[in-house]
Amino acid sequence: MLKFKSTLGLVTAAALALTVSSANAREGNQISIVGSSTVYPFATIVAEKFGQSSGNPTPVIESTGTGGGMKLFCAGIGLEHPDVTNASRAMKSSEAEVCNSNGIEFQEFVVGNDGLAFSNSNAAMQYKISIAHIYAALVNELPGGGTNGNISNLQTNNLTTWDQVDTFVSSTMGTAKIGLPAQPISIMVPPPTSGTRDAMGSLFMKAGAKKLGLDSYKKLREDGLAIEMGENDNLIIEKLVADADMFGIFGYSFFDTNRDKVQASVVDGVELNFENISSYAYPGARPLFFYVKKAHVGVVPGLKEFVSEFISEKAMSMDGYLYPAGLVPLSDADFATQKANLNNL
C-alpha cells in the first residue's frame, strides 16, 4: 500500500453551478491543466494520447510548479480557472482550505511513485552519502557553523567542501568518515513553488536533521552554494553536464531519461531505482498526484474521459505507456483504489 499520509480527503463544500455560455467558453474548449513539473511529462503524454484517440482537443498543460498550480486551481470555479492541477506532493491543508472557501470540491488521484535524485555528472565520482550529509551541505545554520566543534549554538553554515561535510557528520554522529573529497559544495535545488522542494524539505532536510539529532531543518543556506533553480529540470541536466562539481535535486523520471548524462548518488546505502522506489526503501521515494475540479466535470468537454485515460492500466501499469517515461507504477491494490475514485467525479 502507499506509504504516505495525505493531509486531506475529499473537500466537501456547497455545490456551486458552473455556468458556461458560448461567449465565455475557452477557445477550442481545451481541458486546462497546471502544476508540477515532475508530473508534467506524464500528463503531457496522456494528453497527446487522449487528443489522438478521443476526438477531443488535446489538453493545454502549463508547468507552474506544484505550489503555483495549487494557487491557480483553488482560486475559483469557471473556465478562467484550471480544471486539473498536477502535484508532486499531497495538497496541503492550507491549500484545501482555500479551495473550500472558494466553493471548490475536488477529487485527489495518485498516479504513481517517484524518487528524488541527488545527481551529478557521469564524468564525476558517484557519491555514496547519507541524508545527513545532504542536510549538512544545504542547511542555513549548523551548531558552531559546522566547523567550530560540535557546540549547541547555531551559527551560519560555513562548510564549503564535501570533506568538511563528512567531518561534521562523522563528529556529530560519532561515526567514521565515509571519505568524501575536498570538492566544493554546489547544489541546484528546486524553487519554493515546487512540490519537489517540499518533498526535499521533508525527505532529505527534516529526516537529515533528525538523523543528526538536530531540530532546525527548513531554511536553506543563502551564500550561493545552494542554487535555486526554476521549473525547467532539463536546464539542471545541462548544467550538471557542464560542471562536474555540481549536484542537482530532481525527480526520478528526469534522471531515468538522462542516464547517459548523469548519475544518482547512493543515499543511506540505497540505490535510486525502480524497485527501491516501489518498495519505498529509497529514502527519497514519494507518490505523485493530480486533483480534478468536480464542478468542471460534465461542463468541460472530455474532462472525465481524460481522467479515465490517465487512471487506466494502459497508461499506469507495468505494461503501460507511462512506464518507459519513468513513472513507477502503483501496487495492484493502490491502483484499484484510484480506479474506484473515478466514481467520485
Name 114's bridge partners: 286
Do 196 and 240 reside in the same domain of the chain? Answer: yes
Residue 9 has pLDDT above 50, yes or no: no
- Same domain? For 79 and 125 the reply is no
Taken in order 284, 232, 122, 183, the sign of the CA dihedral is negative
- Let me know if residue 190 belongs to a domain: yes
**Count of CB atoms within 10 A of residue 57's CB?**
17
pLDDT given at position 220: 96
User: Are 226 and 139 within one domain?
Assistant: yes
Q: How far apart are CA 202 and CA 208, in angstroms?
A: 9
Q: Give pLDDT tens digits for 145-181.
A: 998 766 678 899 999 999 999 999 999 999 999 999 9
C-alpha–C-alpha distance, residues 240 and 13, integer Å: 46
Task: Please tell me whether residues 133 and 169 are part of one structural domain.
Answer: yes
Owner of C-alpha cell 546505502: 269
CA 88, CA 94: separation in Å to the nearest integer?
A: 16
pLDDT over 80 at 113, yes or no: yes
How far, in Å, CA of 287 to CA of 113, rounded?
4
Q: Is residue 44 within 8 Å of residue 264, measured between CB atoms? A: no
* C-alpha to C-alpha distance for 288 and 309, rounded to whole angstroms: 16
Looking at the 3D structure of the chain, how many domains does it have? 2
Quickly tell me which residue has 542547511 as its cell. Answer: 139
User: Is there a contact between 129 and 180 (Cβ–Cβ < 8 Å)?
Assistant: yes
| Claim to verify: residue 120 and residue 45 sit in the same structural domain | no
Q: Which of 257, 285, 313 is the last residue of a domain?
A: 285
- DSSP letter string, 51-110: HHHHSSPPPEE----HHHHHHHHTT-SSTTS-SEEEESSPPPHHHHHHHHHTT--EEEEE
- Which domain, by its residues, includes 189? 115-285
Same domain for 225 and 122: yes
Element (H, E) at 119: strand 106-121
Split at pLDDT 50, 70, 90, the class of 7 is: very low
d(CA 219, CA 302): 43
Of the residues 262, 285, 308, the one at which a domain ends: 285
Same domain membership, residue 91 and residue 123: no
Q: How confident is the model at residue 2 (pLDDT cuts 50, 70, 90)?
A: low
Residues 66, 195: contact at Cβ < 8 Å? yes
pLDDT tens track for 300-327: 999 999 999 999 999 999 999 999 998 9
| Rounded distance between C-alpha atoms, residue 291 and residue 152, angstroms | 43
Asked if 295 and 319 sit in the same domain, the reply is yes
Q: Which residue has the cell 548519475?
A: 263
Q: Percent of the chain beyond pLDDT 70? A: 91
